[in-house]
Structures are given as structure tokens and as C-alpha cells.
Amino acid sequence: MQILYFDALSNETIIYFQTMQALEEEGVVLLRGIKLDKLKFESLTKLFCKYFFRVTSREKFLQVEGDGFSTLTPPESFVLLGHVEVDYVPCIKTPDIGFLFCLVSPYVAGGETFLIEGASMFNSIPKEIQDRFKNENITYEFLWEPQRWKAQYSVQTEKELHDIFESIQNIQYSLTDGWLHMFYTTSAIVQMKDGSTAFSNAILPHLPHIDHPLYSDKVIYTKKTNQVYWEGGEPFSTETINQLIDAHDKNKYLHRWEDNDLLIFDNIRYLHGREETVKTSKRVLLSRFGYLKNK
Ligand SMILES: [Fe+2]
């Protein structure tokens, strides 16, 4: 990963072009030396993006200051397996780019953010699973409370939600007492510019439980109402999930945070996730996802 050093006097045009060049080459870049508060962080991200994604899974961490698109990452310590942000949500364009800014780095071991290049991970998956991903889509199942879908789709009523979903083929959904129960079918892989196939999805943190032996003593994010199926309706087996986790772990690049680090990454090319800290520790990161101006 390239590290670019800047300071308060650095010219915005230089920051923009050097960062974009590094992103183009490697898909991830670390900016060091720029002290930012929440508003300056937002302002810097606007060099790259005009539009941003609203992270509604973390509404309670929404920042009061600013434009409403920055959230703090959850303060609890847990493992969040690698994912492409918001890949499991229909009718929302997957953001091109993620920004993570470290206000307070953990002072104990652990708590790293990690990145996994999707093409390298795909190459590490057993051939028969690679072939299934090439031949079959996957289906995400999830259940959202009313506040969640209203915020995500910027609507107030079920009628407005029906109108958005009306012409969409690859979803099945129902609404019960305002709760949205959804099945969304999509591809788990993407073709990169160089012709490689990348694992690019949110399968691993979208499961009801994880039974991998290396994770048995860790706190790992799962959600009982989530599930992932092959397109025909067969849930992913524990064996397949564990083979995916093995490929995930083999390709993990851990980033140990320092205060004022700004990590910028390609949200399609790289999965991102987090490690737990070995002991309770403050860890304060601001997060934003956006759509590149130059695309
Ligand atoms: Fe994320």
C-alpha cells in the first residue's frame, strides 16, 4: 500500500492527483500527516466525490455536525468479516470508494482495519466454488425495521417503497407491521479491468452464525435474521463458508491505525473489515463512502 505524506500546507490539487494516481494503481492509499476534524474530513472527501452513500446500518452513529453522510464506526470490539459496503442492498449503487479517518487509534493490540483484494481472494477459493460463483448468482435475505428502509430509500410510506421496487426483477419482499423482509439476488463476483475475476460482495458478514474453528473464541458480527443462499435457494453450507473464510484470511492485509491516518480504498476491488482488540480500548474512526467524480 502506498503511503502519501501531507501536512496542513499541502495543496489540495496535489493531494487530489497523487491520491487518485495511487488509487488507480493499487486501489488503496494511506494519507498521513493531515490533521482533520470531522468537518475538514468531509471537506477533503469532497475533493474526490460529489455524492455520498448514507450508511443506514449505523444511523445511531450519524454525526450531528456536517452533511449527514459521515458515521463513527461502532465502538464495541468485534470481528467484522470482509465485505463490499452495501452490496446486499437492491436499488442502491455500490459506492466506488471508502474513506476511514482515525481520530483515536487503539492503544492495545488488535483493532486493525483490514483490506482484502477481491481478485486475490477469488483465486484462493477452491475451483468448484469459483465455478459456482461464475455460473450462479447468490441471494441475500434480510429483515429491516421501518426506520431502516425509510432512511435507506429516503421515503416515508410503504407505497413509496413499492413504487421503487415495482420494476425490479431480482427481488422478492413482503412488509409486515412495517418490517421489510427481503430476498435480493445478485452476482457475488465482478470482472475487473485487467480481465481478472474478483470476489466482491457482502456474504461473510451477512450470515446468521459462523462456525469456523479459528473464530470460536472471537466475538464476530452475525445477525440471526440474515442469510445467504445460492440462487436456487440452497443456503451456503458451513463447509463452503469456512473455505471462503480460509481464502479471506489468507489474503488479509492488516492496517494498524495511527492517529490522523486517512485510509482511502476502492470499495469494489477491496473488501474491508475489522479485527477485535485484545482488551477494551478506545478506537474512534470516522467513515464515509462516496461516488467518484471522475467516473
Ligand atoms: Fe463496512
> Tell me, what's the pLDDT at 278?
82
Report the pLDDT value the prediction gives residue 61, as an integer from 0 to 100: 57
Positive or negative torsion for Cα 254, 122, 203, 241? negative
Contact 182, 172 (CB under 8 A): yes
The average pLDDT across 28-48 equals 91
Which string of b and e fits 206-243 if b means at least 16 CB within 10 Å?
bbeebebeeeeeeebbeeeebbbbbbeeeebeeebbbb
Ligand 1 center from residue 265 Cα (angstroms): 12
pLDDT tens-place string over residues 204-217: 999 999 999 999 99
Distance (angstroms) between ligand 1 centre and the Cα of 58 equals 10
State percent of the chain over pLDDT 70: 97
List pLDDT tens digits, range 114-130. 999 999 999 999 999 99
Query: Does 59 have pLDDT greater than 70?
Result: no
pLDDT in tens, 181-237: 999 999 999 999 999 999 999 999 999 999 999 999 999 999 999 999 999 899 999
Whole-number Å distance, alpha carbon 73 to ligand 1 midpoint, is 9
What pLDDT, on the 0 to 100 scale, is given for residue 65? 72
Distance from the CA of 279 to the center of ligand 1, in angstroms? 22
**Domains, the chain, ranges and CATH?**
2-292 (3.60.130.10)
Residue 10 has pLDDT above 80, yes or no: no
* 9 C-alpha to ligand 1 centroid (Å): 31
Residue 97 Cα to ligand 1 midpoint, Å, equals 11
- Tell me what pLDDT residue 90 has: 93
C-alpha of residue 8 to centroid of ligand 1, in Å = 28
Cα 264 to averaged position of ligand 1 atoms, centre (Å): 13
Integer Cα distance of 142 and 225 in angstroms: 6
For ligand 1, the distance from its centroid to the CA atom of residue 84, given in whole angstroms, is 7
- Residue 72 — φ and ψ, nearest 5°? -80, 145
